Amino acid sequence: MESDWARPVVQWEIRALDPERMATFYQTMFNWDIVSGKKAKYIRPGIGAPEPQIAGALLPAERSGITLAIQVRDLRDSMNRAVDLGGKILREPFEVGPTPATFAWIEDPEGNHLTLVQQ
């Protein structure tokens, strides 16, 4: 088996109790281009970011916070590792739309939510 590799952040989300207010804040604070979708507001990559650029989303939620989506080599192994390290599995693997990726949700030992992505 080839050696292990660093897991890159491939997406991020801002969870908001009041998405409209938060969109106004981030648009004004950082001059972000935020567009509305059916269930989320999408934050387009900015100018000058290193390639490949990652994009974000602003979503309505029952809790506020920031979620990172981190690409992993083996989804199930990563979920099990999270549990071994004191985290929790929040959602078993699932697919979204036409993307060639499978996702799972975990929680770190302090309650921060992370999305694992296997492509």
Phi-psi region of 62 (alpha: psi -120 to 50; beta: other; left: phi over 0): alpha
* pLDDT at 13 (0 to 100): 87
Q: Is the pLDDT of residue 93 over 60?
A: yes
* pLDDT at 112 (0 to 100): 81
Give the SS3 label for residue 104: strand
27-64 pLDDT, tens digit each: 887 788 999 988 899 988 876 666 777 878 888 988 88
Structure pTM?
A: 0.68
Helices vs. strands in the chain: H and E counts, helices first? 2, 8
Domains (range + CATH), the chain? 8-65 (2.60.40.4320), 72-119 (3.10.180.10)
DSSP 40: -
Task: Provide the token pair at 31.
Answer: 């001059």
Give the SS3 label for residue 115: strand
